[in-house]
Every structure is written in C-alpha cells, then in structure tokens.
Amino acid sequence: MEGRTYAIVPAYKPDRKLLSLCWQLVRQGYSIVIVNDGSPPEYDNIFAEAAMYGCVLRHDGNLGKGAALKTGLRYLAAKAGAGDVVVTVDADGQHRAKDVIRVAARARREGMALVLGRRTFEGGVPLRSRTGNALARAAFRLLSHSAVTDTQTGLRAFPCALIPFFLEVRGERYEYEMDVLFACVRYGIPIVEEPVDTVYLDGNAASHFRVFPDGLKIFREILSFAASSAVGFCVDYTLFALLSRALVFLGSPALQVSNVLARLASAGVNFAVNRRFVFRAQEERLLSPAVRYFLLAAGILALNTLALTVLVRYCGIHVYLAKILAEAALFVVSWIVQKSFVFRKKQRRE
C-alpha cells in the first residue's frame, strides 16, 4: 500500500494563492502542513481559511524560511511513517499543483533521495532571479564538485525517513536550502532533478529573498574560508617579515627558514579556525583531520617555498611581493583539498 504524501508550505505574508494551492493539493489526497512564519495580524484571515485544508503551525515572529521548514518537519517527524513522502512548496504561487504532484511522485520512485523541481531560466525570468540562480549554481558546483541546475528551487520532495537527517542541517533562513544540498552531497544522498514549469508572478515581487544579506549566508562557506585564510596569511606574513630580518645573518637560507617557521605558526592557527568555524568538523576525532591537515600544509609549504625561491631569485621580484603572489596562487588549491580531503565527513550509512 502506497504511503501518504505530505506538503509543507512555509508562508510569510501570503495572499489567496496559498488557498488555491492547498485546495488543489487536498483534492489529490495530500495532507497539508502550513507554517505561518510570523505574518502580521492582517494575514490571520488567510491562515484561518487555510486551516480548513490542513494543519496551521505558527511562529511568534519571522524566524526565516529554514526555521519554518524545520517546524513543519518536526511536526511530521512525530506522525509520518517511513513509507510516506514529504514535498516542500512555496506559498507565493510559483509552484503549480501539477508540478508538485510530479515531484512528489518522482520522490516516491527514487527512494532515499532528494528530488528538486528544476526550473528553466529562459524567456521572461526576472534578471535578479536569473543572476542569483546562475551565481548560486556556479558556487555550488565549485564548493561541492556536483552539478545541480536549480539550487534555489523551493519545490523539493523526499521520503519521510530522511526527516531526522534534514532536521540536523544548519540554517534558519534562505541559506538552509543550499546547506541541505551540501549535506546531501557530503553524506552521499542522491540529488535528482525533475523538470517543472518556471513561474514568476509580477517580476517575482512576492519573494522575500534579500539578495545581499541572504546571498552572503548562502555563500558563507567560501567567504568564511577566505576570512580564515586572511587571518592565517596575516600571521604568516607578519612572522615572515620579522624572521627574514632577524635571520639575515644566515645569508641565503634565511628566506627558506623564515618561510618554514612562519608557515608552521600560521598553520596551527588556520587549522583551528577552519576546523571549528569553516567546515564545522568538530564532531570528528581530532587526530585524523590534524594528520591530513599537516600533510596538506607540508605539501603547500614545499610548493610555496619553491614558488617564493623562483620569484625572488630568478624573476627578480621583491621578497614581500613574491610572498603575496605565492600565497594567492595556492589559495584555491588549499581550499579544495581541505574541503574534500582534510575535513571530509564520513558518508551516511542507511
């Protein structure tokens, strides 16, 4: 016997399109969970009508889309069966009922996977949406080494057996949906895309996505890594400048000795910051990532020292400028290796 299908609809300041969506899904046998994410009192009549179609949960304040989705998931965790499927749907009318049904049906066929309703960004798509999705798609591919066409879609479906996993994913606002994708890649949960219609009403005016602040949250991992690298670079560069002067009596080897000592000190700082704040790997045993990190650090140090020597001795570049150029060249290499090797997480076993 086929399990039930639940729809979670996070809603903030919705209009009557929410009611139309709920009515269409209820007619298809869906159980609806609407989360009022702190909408002002003037929207109470909309939610009162929505309650005729399903359960309405409420936040006292506007906590964000991620928080609203988690509230709905926590509610279902206590009542849904392992054979049931949940689909998340936006309340602004961008998701047609027929597409919701198609994505949910695909999730039932796929099993332990996340199914995304994939839009096409052509024709009359607002520039803000087209640009935002292109940047998000490129960033996700760079960060995860996985290709997903529509990383920003709110139309997603998965088996209820995955609810505990998605409740553990960090994020309270729009960044939550991107973090879910990263978590799926990291733990080996397949991401499948199902084509759906692309609908933008009134230039996407109903969207509450804030391009700058929410965009920063979505791309916070690469920004955090850049900030961490900047801290490590400041420590490294300062010590290198001081040591290269203090060890001038060594003659020619002073350059290499200063670079090695400065890098050892900055590596300890960089490891602690990246482990705790960037890649959030604090749940893993300390020894394994530490060994991997210092293997990486040794390799980077060798390349850095070689590059520094070539730039100074054979290219005639000033030592301080050469240090900056060598560090910049190895930045991307360091980030990719740390993400995929040093602070990797074990794949989730079913």
Q: Catalogue all structural domains in the chain, each as residue range(s) with its CATH number.
A: 5-218 (3.90.550.10), 221-342 (no CATH)
Distance CA 17, CA 20 (A): 5
User: What is the reported pLDDT for 112?
Assistant: 94
Instruction: Choose among 182, 148, 175: nearest CA to 67.
Output: 175
- Relative to beta strand 31-37, strand 85-88 is unpaired
Most confident segment among 42-51, 148-157, 181-190, 267-276: 42-51
Task: Report the pLDDT averaged over residues 18-34.
Answer: 95
Each residue of 257-296: b (16+ CB within 10 Å) or e? Answer: ebbebbbebbbbebbebbbeebbebeeeeeeebeebbbeb
Distance CA 225, CA 172 (A): 21
Q: Tell me the CA end-to-end span of the chain in Å, nearest whole number.
A: 22
Most confident segment among 272-281, 290-299, 340-349: 290-299
User: What is the reported pLDDT for 82?
Assistant: 79
Residue 292 bridge partners (DSSP): none
Non-local (6+) Cβ contacts of 338 within 8 A are 225, 274, 279, 293, 296
Task: Report the pLDDT averaged over residues 236-252.
Answer: 81
Task: Report the pLDDT averaged over residues 325-349.
Answer: 67
Structure token digits, residue 44: 């109470």
pLDDT, tens only, 109-127: 999 999 999 987 665 566 6
Query: Please, which pLDDT band fits residue 341 given cuts at 50, 70 and 90?
Result: low
Is the Cβ–Cβ distance between 100 and 134 less than 8 Å?
Answer: no
Is the Cβ–Cβ distance between 18 and 91 less than 8 Å?
Answer: yes
pLDDT, tens only, 43-58: 999 999 999 999 999 9
Non-local (6+) Cβ contacts of 223 within 8 A are 216
Structure token digits, residue 34: 């609407």
User: What is the reported pLDDT for 250?
Assistant: 76
Task: Report the pLDDT averaged over residues 17-42.
Answer: 95
User: What is the reported pLDDT for 26?
Assistant: 96
Query: Please, which pLDDT band fits residue 347 given cuts at 50, 70 and 90?
Result: very low
Task: Report the pLDDT averaged over residues 265-272.
Answer: 79
User: What is the reported pLDDT for 342?
Assistant: 65
The overall average pLDDT reported for the chain is 82
